[in-house]
Structure 1
Amino acid sequence: MAASEEHNSPTEAPQPAVEDEETKTFKDLGVTDVLCEACDQLGWTKPTKIQIEAIPLALQGRDIIGLAETGSGKTGAFALPILNALLETPQRLFALVLTPTRELAFQISEQFEALGSSIGVQSGKCLRGKAS
């Protein structure tokens, strides 16, 4: 979510997918009710194209490589399945997300905490190198 990666803040909703023949919801994709409510609170009313394509596969435990434009909801596409899995198998330490920049690390952390606030999710950041 660095300037070159993603512009959405935790409260800025990604742009919804273009209307398909059937409009999908986060619930339709398999996201649990508590996370669907978190999406609603963030203003994410409908999943974006990358989310529609990635979330069901990620919920099945499949590996995914996704490419999408800035502001398309990529972070939600991988954060929601991770948080969904955490709800199914609660653990103190659960996921590691690697990012190429400090800014992206902070923005992804904010999104995880915003999406997981109602279930007590906390994130930490390990940063290395000089700030520019």
Structure 2
Amino acid sequence: RADRVGSQYFLNPSVRDAHVTSRGVTDVLCEACDQLGWTKPTKIQIEAIPLALQGRDIIGLAETGSGKTGAFALPILNALLETPQRLFALVLTPTRELAFQISEQFEALGSSIGVQSAVIVGGIDSMSQSLALAKKPHVIIATPGRLIDHLENTKGFNLRALKYLVMDEADRILNMDFETEVDKILKVIPRDRKTFLFSATMTKKVQKLQRAALKNPVKCAVSSKYQTVEKLQQYYVFIPSKFKVKCLL
């Protein structure tokens, strides 16, 4: 196991020699990583997880497919084990597809410790989502627009006790004109929280959001603009245009 000493999974040697050696990822989460086949941490996980375990706000510059979900999910679940609480973390994403992918990873990592998550996105019945929120899951993964709808209209639902905020693919969130919704969310969650911001690029909008949402953050940059993730598999198929829809299906 890469850099694993007891429960010190995902801590690189330079950090292990510092003052966080007693705060590694717990064994139960290490076992979950093993079950998922995560035997070696990715670059963003090596950079971000030790700092997250120290309680730092993080700006992660990483592409899709770089393992960034694990980079924020493991520290959040580790903290949840230390101080169990409902409505503990919120993950904002630009699309419903990404929201479901993140939820699957949270549930896979947290299955043995009973972690409950709720996906709050558009295109799905609001009433069923209201019922899910009424059960007060530990983690909410949401698109900004639908989350605002529930904050304004779902009776009894609020995020005043939130401990962690993640903005995943922040550049895409802002490019999709969710700035107003993000501002509203920031106004109704605690200022005393941990915040992780992940983005493929550091645009002016992302820099503005960083200044508004994060406290003394540390930057973990493992990607450059337009870089393709090493493990991402890409294929193309040459076919006549008239057959493309049938082949896609």
Using structure 1 for the length normalisation, give the TM-score.
0.76
Structure 2 counterpart of 1:40: 34
Secondary structure of the equivalent of 1:96?
Answer: strand
Determine the C-alpha separation between the residues in 1 that align with 2:122 and 2:30. Answer: 34
Structure 1 counterpart of 2:3: 24
Structure 1 counterpart of 2:189: none
Q: Residues 10 and 50 of structure 2 are in contact (CA less than 8 Å); yes or no, is this contact kept in structure 1? A: no
Say whether 1:97 aligns with 2:91: yes
Determine the C-alpha separation between the residues in 1 that align with 2:10 and 2:62. Answer: 21
Distance 1:28 1:72, change over 3 A: closer
2:100 to 106, 116, 131: 106
Which runs of 5 or more structure 1 residues have no equivalent in the other structure? 1-22
Determine the C-alpha separation between the residues in 2 that align with 1:83 and 1:58. Answer: 11
Q: CA deviation at 1:93?
A: 2.0
Structure 1 counterpart of 2:65: 71
RMSD over aligned CA atoms reads 1.6
Structure 2 counterpart of 1:20: none
Using structure 2 for the length normalisation, give the TM-score.
0.41
User: What percentage of residue pairs aligned between the two structures are identical?
Assistant: 89
Q: Residues 52 and 58 of structure 2 are in contact (CA less than 8 Å); yes or no, is this contact kept in structure 1? A: yes
Determine the C-alpha separation between the residues in 2 that align with 1:110 and 1:44. Answer: 15
Structure 1 counterpart of 2:116: 122
Higher RCO by CA contacts (8 Å cutoff, separation 6 or greater): 1
Determine the C-alpha separation between the residues in 2 that align with 1:28 and 1:67. Answer: 18
Distance 1:71 1:28, change over 3 A: closer
Q: Which has the larger helix fraction?
A: 2
Structure 2 counterpart of 1:10: none
Structure 2 counterpart of 1:19: none
What is the one-letter code of the residue matched to 1:111? Q
Q: CA deviation at 1:111?
A: 0.4
What is the one-letter code of the residue matched to 1:119? I
Determine the C-alpha separation between the residues in 1 that align with 2:66 and 2:3. Answer: 16
Which runs of 5 or more structure 2 residues have no equivalent in the other structure? 12-23, 125-249
Determine the C-alpha separation between the residues in 2 that align with 1:57 and 1:84. Answer: 13
Larger radius of gyration: 2
Structure 2 counterpart of 1:15: none
Q: CA deviation at 1:68?
A: 1.8
Determine the C-alpha separation between the residues in 2 that align with 1:52 and 1:96. Answer: 23
Q: CA deviation at 1:28?
A: 5.1
Aligned length: 108
Q: Which has the larger strand fraction?
A: 2
Q: CA deviation at 1:61?
A: 1.1
